[in-house]
Amino acid sequence: MEITLKLEKNDFDITILGAGPGGYTAAIEAERMGLKVLLVDNNKIGGTCLHNGCIPTKSLLKSAELYCEIKNSLNKSITSEDLNFNFDTIIENSKKNVKRLSSGVEHLISSKEIEYVNGFGFFKDKQTLIVNEKNSKIKIKSDKFIIATGSKPYHPSKFKPDNINIYDSDGILNIKKCPESILIIGGGYIGIEFAYFFNSYGSKVTIVENQNSILGNLDSDLLVDFKKNFKRQGIKILENANIKEIYENNSNLRVEIKCDEDIIDSNFENILVATGRLPNTKDINLEKIGVILDDRGFIKINEKYQSSIDNIYAIGDVTGGKMLAHRASDDGMKIINSIYKNEIFSISYIPSCIYCQPEIASIGLTEEEIMSSGIEYNKSISNFKSNGKSIAQGEVRGFCKIMVDKNLQILGAHIIGKGATEMISELNLVMSNNLTINEIIKTIHPHPTLSEIIFECCLNLIGRTRHG
């Protein structure tokens, strides 16, 4: 049975396929401009970040951080006869946080003049979308379309998740108990954060990375320090390593790992596959209507977010690059002005964050990238151990590293340590507005705060060092 959406002329100015952070942000911006907007998604409003990514994982990581802080305090100033955790409650609390935020986003969309259809949409032609909704098909006509369908975990054929023994980053959010041992395949952001989480609660964690290094795009100074901290926590890291075979071994999984020229044979209770993500572009007929994809299925776009079809645009994960929720939201805020006001935005500085302990936050170029480019630069490193707030908190691991050009504009900034993910925004503000470190130096930073680490780092760059 085919029905049509009951609107006058059955016509929309813009239809957005995907209701994640990029999609619903674009919908709000379009509605604010007075456009007739339709939002389509076959899952819940909020996308991967809200339901299977940022929010549930950060809830889990916060619980792990608190547990570790208490354990460490028991050896110092706080005493307790017994310290334990309820893993079921930890998982359940993360779901409660998701539910709370999800209802907020749903209320936000419902309060706007935005039509919403819950169903799977695919293109019939460049101006017609068919949406499978329950037992019906809805035909939608629209002047323009934005594809914001996000991404999904990549599953190598060798180790398909069954969500019993082998999990991906979605399935692991529903794991029933904390495993005694877990193998994490992939040393990117997702794998690293889950490694910290399970290690915090006593799991024996091994990370297998097939590249030369985990977190391969990280500035080398941060990488060295981070690896040192992870190894100190008891996390085993195997680089230049590949999984040869996985066998069932009673209640465990026996895994053969080739590491350089050695074969390591180990048993694990569970495996987490964190080998990257692929775009959700399958089955929506993009190639059929002429939208050009790359060899991995990502949509090719120009500086106006426009695909190879003039009225079809794309934002967020489906376009490749940094697959981050805040990047997708930024795309969503800009694209409507790009389409309807012909604005072209300069490339944004996108901060990258890792939320385990120690936290990592980076923006701009690494020192290796600067050196290879031949740009003349100066750098400064300011240590957390010289900061009053860090000392008071009892957490002095880490440093801030800033590199500037001859005009004192920031080329790259990298922070490792507790609070790094909050600190990076000040540096982003400076870089995004083409300011210099002089603006940071002229700004009074409250004392004691972690922000003073950035202040000191900038002072060092102009030879006004106050603390080592």
List 39's β-bridge partners, or say none: 16, 116
- The answer to whether 214 touches 207, Cβ cutoff 8 Å, is yes
User: Of 431, 421, 218, 189, nearest to 323 (Cα)?
Assistant: 189
Q: State how far the Cα of 422 lies from the Cα of 353, in Å rounded to an integer.
A: 9
**414 is known as an active-site residue:** no
Residue 182 tokens, joined: 């877990």
Strand-strand pairing, 410-417 and 360-364 = antiparallel
Q: State how far the Cα of 189 lies from the Cα of 229, in Å rounded to an integer.
A: 16
Burial of 152 (0-12, 13-18, 19+ CB in 10 A): middle
Cβ-based neighbours of 238, under 8 Å, separated by 6 or more:
206, 207, 208, 209, 257, 259, 264
Residue 417 tokens, joined: 């340590």
Cβ-based neighbours of 439, under 8 Å, separated by 6 or more:
430
Beta-strand ranges (E) seen in 18-73 are: 37-41
| Catalytic residue of the set 51, 155, 414, 447 | 447
- The answer to whether 410 touches 437, Cβ cutoff 8 Å, is yes
- Tell me which residues are annotated as active site: 447
